[in-house]
Structure formats: C-alpha cells, structure tokens
Structure 1
Amino acid sequence: MGVTSVSDLYRERVKAGLLREDEAQAQVLPLMDAVVDSLQDQPAASTNGGWRSWFGGGQADAAPADGSQGLYLWGGVGRGKSMLMDLIVDAAPIEAKRRVHFHEFMQEIQTGLEAARKRGDQDTVRPVAQEVAASVRLLCFDEMQITDIADAMIVGRLFQVLFEEGVVIVTTSNRTPDDLYKHGLNRQLFLPFIKLLKERMQVVELASPTDYRQGRAAGGQVWFSPANAEARAAMDATWADLTGGATPAPREIEVKGRKVILPKCADRVGRASFWDLCGQPLGPADYLAITREVDVLMIDAIPRLSMSNYNEAKRFVTLIDTLYEAKLKLIASAADEPEQLYNEGEGSFEFERTTSRLREMQDAAWGARAAG
C-alpha cells in the first residue's frame, strides 16, 4: 500500500485553497518526502515493546538513505515552517510519532532527570532518553531555541542517545544551528551539540521572501466587536491566515513551578479566551512568560467589565500592560469598543489608560516585532 507523501498533501491543500503555493516551501518538500519514506517500512504499531521490538533498535535501522537521521528546518518567522512540519506528521505512516513544542519537551525532560537523580542513576540522561525512544520513532520539535543553561548542558547528550536509539528527529527553528545559544554562558560546552546536529540532520533554510503573517500583523483589522458569530468567524480566518494552516496545540508554560496553559499555539501565534487568561489567578510573571512564547496573541470574547467581574478586570489591565510593554501584537474580539468596555464603577477611571493602550495597539505600525 502506498504512502501519502508530504508533496501530495501539500498539493492537495494548495488545490483546496487551504495553502498558497510558495516556491521556497516547494523546494524543501522532497527532503520531507525522504523523511516519510524512511519510515514507511515501519509497522503502524507493535504490541510487544513498541516500534523498537520490530526493528531491534539501533541507528542503522532507522537512518534515511542519505545517512541523515532527521531534518532541521530554519528560517524567519511566518514562513510556514510549522505548517510543513505538520505535513510530515500527517504523512508519516506510523503511530509512534509525536509533535511537541521544544520548550514543553525540555520541561518534561527536566522532570524525568529529577526522577532519575532521586533513583540514584549515575547517567541520568540515558534512561530518560531511552524512555522517550521506547514510545516514538518520529519526534517533531517546533521552535527549537536554547535560552536556558540547564537545557544547554543536557540537550547534546539527550539528542545523542535519541539518535543512537534510532529516533528520527524533525525540528523547526528561527535560527541556524550555529546561532543556537549564541552568547550563552559556557557556550563552548554547547558546541559539540551544534556539530552533532549538522552531522546527523539535514539543515535546510526555508528562504521564502513572504512572511505570511505580515499582512494581518502589520495592518489588518485586529479588534472585532461585538463578540458575536461574525466576530468569531473573522477571528478564525485571521488565525488561519497568521498560522499558515499549521495545526494548533496547547502549550504549557512553567512559571515558578506552576503551569500556565495557552489553549492554542502555532508558529509563535497564541490564542485563548478572556476567561483562560483573566479568569484564572494569574499575575505579571505569568503574562510576561506568555510574551516570551508568542509574538501574536489572540484573545476571544472580552466581556464588558464592571464590579461584577472586578478581579478579572484587574487581571485584564495587568495583561494589557504586559503585552504593551513587550510590544506584542494583540488581536481580539470584545463585547464593545475599548472606550465602552468599562465605563462605570470602581476601576473605570483607571481603565482609561488601558483604553488608550488598546487603541494604540490597534495602529497599523504597532507590533513590528510580530511582523519582523
């Protein structure tokens, strides 16, 4: 039985009007097809010990014909990297596959390492990596970036074991491998990992001249009111336009031992409802952590604010202040225009500053970070 290729999926979605054909994207499709082809002799599932019981393990069994063991796709924001990686996941003819945001994955690894330390394991990384390899044959990371020294010190060893165990890795990044952890503390200890990436993965730049988010992010409508079905449809269309058709996924952000969840994320665009962000006991540190994860934040269904939802209103003010200071692009649906959201009761006077900021954030020149 034939395997659906990434190229076939891409052409189907272009024909259906879900994607716009892009020459730079089309040029990397054969490399993605090769990744899928390297997986096609793999059974969809195994009942005895996972996929490795069928292969018997080992990197030679898993490597594609060109000798590489994965794909490192890098380029500017909004070029469609996440969307292309999603196509690999969709086309891969196996069940032992996983797509995860790199930051979220590294949090899971740190938790596993802590458990290994408590067990007294001398090599804490190998058992954690082997546990990952026992469940996945294809591991897809979105947005690889190394900003934490703890991650930098373990990621090389982690990838080494994953490669040894035969895992095929696909990752996207805004940076070429040589720029990962640039100017980081003790970076010389990180350089062997960069060498490993370049040896074991095909490194490809997605050099599209088009930023598919720029049209919306630099001048499209960003405030939709009232928050009715029409506004919801407009928000959905904006989401699809900004993410280039990438599959959304929840993202867990760890903040001082707590988890903040953005329900939908794709290609540094996040989306949540007002109640997701302001109906929970979140504060400045949580909102600041969100600004590090996304360049564009979409908020659905901002209600009218008053004494009846005073605590939520206070959090909303804090959220907008944080987004404003971070120069984040905000797209929202709301019960009314900013000036009419909170015009009576305690806190309404202080909300005038928030109204001013919301208006400023609707300007076409706002959010250069998101479009750049």
Structure 2
Amino acid sequence: MRGFSSISRSLSVSRRIFCTAPTGALRFYCNHRPAKRAGPLMQYRDLVKQGKLQHDPDQEKVALELENLLGRLQQYEKDMEEYHVKLAEWENRRENERHRLLVEEAEMKQRGDVWASVNKHRSKLIERWTFRGLLQEKNIEPGVGKWVSYLNREKKLDTIVGRRPAAPPAPKGLYLFGNVGSGKTMLMDMFYSATKGIVKHRRRYHFHEAMLEINAHMHQIWKKQVEEKSFQSSISSWVRNLPFDSTIKEWLDAEEKYKQEMQMKNILPAVADKFLIDGQEDQGGASILCFDEIQTVDVFAIVALSGIVSRLLSTGTVLVATSNRAPEDLNQDGMQREIFLKFVDKLREHCDNILIGSEVDYRRLIAQRFVYQNHFFWPLGGSAEEEFQKMWVEITNESGGKIISETIPVMFGRTLEVLKSCNGIGQFEFEYLCGRPVGAADYIAIARNYHTVFISGIPTMSMRIRDKARRFITLIDELYNHHCRLVCSAASSIDDLFKGTEEGRLFDLESFQFETEIEGSKLRRDVLAEGSVSSGGVPTGIISMLSGQEEMFAFRRAVSRLIEMQTPLYLEGVRALHPYFQR
C-alpha cells in the first residue's frame, strides 16, 4: 500500500464555496445563496481574486461569452412568454377550424356524396368499381387518399388561420470544446446556476443521462401509441356527439386518428417536445439545455442527437454544450455521415464554437497542491486491502446504520441488487459492476442512491478486458457527475490503471467495439427504422465503433476525475451536492 491519510470524520459543510487552493478547472462547488445571483464572469473573477482559481485567459474569455449570453436570455425569456401566448391562440383557432372543415366534409357525405355515401350497399359498390379499381389500375398504395385529404385540409387551414407564428430569434448558444480538465464543465455549471430565476425551462444533462432519458421518452410514447391502438373502436368524444349516423362518425374518427398518426410518425420530434418541459403545465417562456460531453459513440447517438437537438434548436431552445472535440470531429468513424453533417450544420447555425485551448489538467494540478485524503488503495491484497476494509467499517459506523442488502430500481422495470448497503453507503465488487452486461442506467441508479461507493478488486485494464474498462469509465463518469464519494481498492495506481498489462496496451488497435446497454436495444433499432436509417448487419444491441483516440480521451478523463475525487475540495462538497442529501 502507498501511504494515505485518514478519512474526513464529517461531510458537513458550511454555506460557502469549497475552494482552498488555486485551480482553473475544478467543478464549481457552490452552495451559497446570494441575494442576487452572480453571472459566470463575476463568479470566475471573484474566485480568481480570492486566490481560489488560477487565472486562465481562455477560461475568462468563455466566462465573458457566457455572461453576455445570460444577459440576452433575460429579454429572450420575455419574448418567448409573449410568443407562446400567441402560439396557443393560433393552435386553438387552427384546431377549431380543422374540426369545422371536417364537419363540413361530413355533412357533404351525409347528403349523399357519391364517393362516401352513407348507403352501405352503394358505398361498397362504388368502392369496389371505382376506388379499388383505381388503386389496381394505377398501383396507388392504400392510404394515399387520406394523405391527400390531410394535406389539402392543412393547406386550407394555412389560408384560413395563417401559418404558425414565427418564434423570436434565439440568442446563439455556445459549444465549448477542449482537452480533459481544461474547465469546460466548470464554466458551463457556473452559467447554468446563474440561469435560475431567469429562464423557466432549464435542464442540465450528461451524455449518458440524456441518452437514457431519450430511451425513456421513446418507451413512454410507444407505450401510449399501443394503448391508444387497443381502444381504436371507441370514437373520439367530440365526434360522438355530432348529429351524424355511425358511418359518418366512423369516417370522422378515422380522419382524426390519421392526423395523430401523421404527427407521431417521426418519434424524435415528439421526444424532443417533452425533453425539457415534460410534466409541466406552463409551457411558455424560453428553454435552455446544458449538455455535458456531447459524443457520437454509436449510430443511435447520432440519429437521436441529430433529431432531438435539431428539433430543440429549431423551436428556440438555447444550447450550451461541452465536448472534447469540435463538432465536425465528433464522428471519427463516419457513421451515418449524411445525418451527422446535418447535425453539425445545425450546431454551427445556432451555436458559437469556442476552443478552450489550455493544455493544463487543473484537476491534476489541485492534487499536487493538496495534502489530500486518498481513498484509492493499491496494490490488491495485503495492507491496502486492510485499509480499504477499515475505511468501510469507519464510515458505516459513523452513519449509525446497519449493513443490509437491498434492491434499487433502475429503469424499464429493472432492478439492481446491492449486497452491502448502509444509509446511502454501498459496497460493490468490480466484477459485479463491470463484468456483467450492465450500463449507464445501472450506474446512474447507484450514483443517485449512494453518496459513498466502495469498489473492490479493480484490475489494471488491458485489451482482454476492454469491455469492462469501458463500463468502468462510464461508472466513474456517473459517480463524478452525481458527486459521490468513491473508495477503491485496485491493482495499480490511478496513473497506471489504463496503461495496459503484459497482455498488451489498451490502445494498440485502431478501433474498438463495445456493446451498449441491453435494455435499450429494441428501442434503438426502432428509432433507426423511424429515422430511415438502415440497421442491417447490426447485432442485438447497437455496436459502438470508437476509435483508439476516442478511447484515449475517455481514459484520460477517468484518470483526471479519479484524481480530483481524492481531494478535500471534492469530498467536502458531497453533502452539499449529492442527491441523497437533497431529499
């Protein structure tokens, strides 16, 4: 074992910024509530002035850009409030007029229109000798008649009601990219905290969480569609009370259902419309999406991000995103190139791209300046293992609880067994978390339920276990994003953890393949079909094609975060920032 100091006896924190040493890219651990919320530039300069951040010109430039964006958002929120009032009025008028047009068409049919007479015998005869014959003669697909009627009706509505009101121009968002530890996430989080009270609809997602949220919304929408299909025999309430016979009512109801089918044909816009405001009655006002670590790790990510982010940007959402790569460099393997290029064009149209050019990993710089409390014990066995178990006993004793086993919910009805649990503290073996077909959904469930996570038996990563290495990186991402305290026993130091073994280095192939989470596989295949993307040749679960350079980014990020998670600055923020203590 390498020497480590004892753990902190308490996670209690005061209402202050948890910074005690100069740094430039540490996450913004802030739990204070000033009378007037400071913007990102003021926050950044105050921390530099106090000696709590090391000045970096690239970071200050980004802070200034974010400050300017924040100022534009205040007026934009007011403009969008007024726009949504006008939009609601327009939608109501259009729906009322659509019903009126349908009723007029129904009255014509009721009077004995030759194409849809209420006389059943005559209707069958005409259908047999005209409409069906026409389909056979000209090879017109069934449903074309409804499609033409639908388009003609929509065109009439444009003339009567007018086209959809134009939304006010949205301020351009920001796409921040740069090296690991350069401060992207810190600056975005400063901005996000400052938008509270300014923008009504605001969400912050990490990549893994966003993908799972997309899967969940897709599942809900498809489930609703299935339920609605099972009740197709029941006629819509507004149609049921009209003074027409049953045949005409059935026609009206079929037209109504066809309109709904057309609106739901592409699932991604429907998901996008629920992404930021799902479950909220008041949908007025501006919306902003802060998206940490945009990636295009597989076909599903490209299709889903392109469809959903493009829809959000087109409807006025302001995007602030971070990534290790410039937009045009996200798709190194050329997957679904046409869809990807449209996505890049949309990002360029709605976001300014800013490179944070610092080569310094400030997380590592902090670790060098701190006399820190190391929670990473190595090598495996001997005194390191003893220290690991000793820390488990100390922390669980401090919690005053009893060690039990429990089951926690994941998503899609799945659960995860936790064999050792005690008041928000959980212990796991590496093989249990990373040696099985589990993924981000499981790790998010763990991160949300446990403020302190113990992981034992972490091996040095090699090509032989590269799938486990990828899962471990995802696990670290989620524990870090939820601000968990992490205690590990491992075969090597943090710096050597991803350098490979005698079996070979982890980066000696030009590209790797990793399977994504099992629970999303069918939904992902379905969304590919909806997006007119060929899924031929794809096995169960969509395969990610990640280049060695992409993996290098991921490994470097994991090392950087593991180092930061050992520092008092990080550990002091657990009680203030972890979801367990916000309940």
- On whether the aligned pair clears a TM of 0.5, the verdict is yes
| Residue equivalent to 1:74 | 177
Residue 281 of structure 1 deviates from its aligned partner by: 6.8
Residue 157 of structure 1 deviates from its aligned partner by: 2.3
| Residue equivalent to 2:207 | 102
Give distance in 1, aligned partners of 2:68 and 2:409.
33
1:127 to 256, 270, 286: 270
Distance 1:117 1:207, change over 3 A: same
1:149 aligns with 2:256: no
| Unaligned ranges ≥5, structure 1 | 233-251, 262-272, 294-298, 303-314, 339-357
Larger Rg: 2
| Residue equivalent to 1:223 | 376
1:179 to 318, 321, 329: 329
| Residue equivalent to 2:459 | 321
TM-score (norm 2): 0.42
Residue 108 of structure 1 deviates from its aligned partner by: 1.4
Give distance in 2, aligned partners of 1:260 and 1:228.
21
Check whether the contact 1:129–1:161 (CA below 8 A) recurs between aligned residues: yes
| Residue equivalent to 1:87 | 190
| Residue equivalent to 2:144 | none
Counterpart mapping for 1:305-344 below 5 A: 316-317=456-457, 320-321=458-459, 325=465, 326=469, 333=487
Check whether the contact 2:306–2:339 (CA below 8 A) recurs between aligned residues: no
1:39 to 67, 73, 80: 73
Residue 168 of structure 1 deviates from its aligned partner by: 0.6
Distance 1:253 1:99, change over 3 A: farther
Distance 1:82 1:289, change over 3 A: same
Distance 1:18 1:218, change over 3 A: closer
Q: Deviations over 1:133-152 (max 9, x none)?
A: 54671110111101121221
SS at match of 1:285: coil
| Residue equivalent to 1:246 | none
| Residue equivalent to 1:284 | 435
Give distance in 1, aligned partners of 2:368 and 2:498.
7
Give distance in 2, aligned partners of 1:55 and 1:82.
36
2:54 to 5, 15, 20: 20
Measured on the aligned residues, the alpha-carbon RMSD in Å equals 4.6
After superposing the two structures, state which structure 1 stretch, 166-175 or 93-102, moved more.
Answer: 93-102
Percent sequence identity over aligned pairs: 27
Counterpart mapping for 1:257-268 below 5 A: 258=414
Residue 40 of structure 1 deviates from its aligned partner by: 1.4
Distance 1:189 1:53, change over 3 A: closer
After superposing the two structures, state which structure 1 stretch, 90-99 or 278-287, moved more.
Answer: 278-287
Residue 71 of structure 1 deviates from its aligned partner by: 0.9
1:53 to 81, 84, 94: 84
| Residue equivalent to 1:201 | 351
Give distance in 2, aligned partners of 1:253 and 1:148.
26
Give distance in 2, aligned partners of 1:216 and 1:365.
19
Give distance in 1, aligned partners of 2:415 and 2:46.
38
Check whether the contact 1:139–1:167 (CA below 8 A) recurs between aligned residues: yes
Give distance in 1, aligned partners of 2:219 and 2:453.
40
Check whether the contact 2:460–2:492 (CA below 8 A) recurs between aligned residues: no
Residue 178 of structure 1 deviates from its aligned partner by: 1.0
Q: Deviations over 1:31-63 (max 9, x none)?
A: 11122112113669x9xxx89636859775251
Check whether the contact 1:218–1:364 (CA below 8 A) recurs between aligned residues: no
Counterpart of 1:103, as a letter, is: H
Distance 1:276 1:177, change over 3 A: farther
Residue 103 of structure 1 deviates from its aligned partner by: 2.3
Residue 211 of structure 1 deviates from its aligned partner by: 0.6
TM-score (norm 1): 0.62
Counterpart of 2:376, as a letter, is: W
Give distance in 2, aligned partners of 1:25 and 1:76.
12
| Residue equivalent to 2:29 | none
Give distance in 1, aligned partners of 2:212 and 2:311.
18
Check whether the contact 1:133–1:167 (CA below 8 A) recurs between aligned residues: no
Counterpart mapping for 1:250-261 below 5 A: 258=414
Check whether the contact 1:217–1:367 (CA below 8 A) recurs between aligned residues: no
Give distance in 2, aligned partners of 1:229 and 1:42.
53
- Equivalent pairs counted in the alignment come to 293
The structure whose residues are more often helix, as a share, is 2
Distance 1:165 1:278, change over 3 A: same
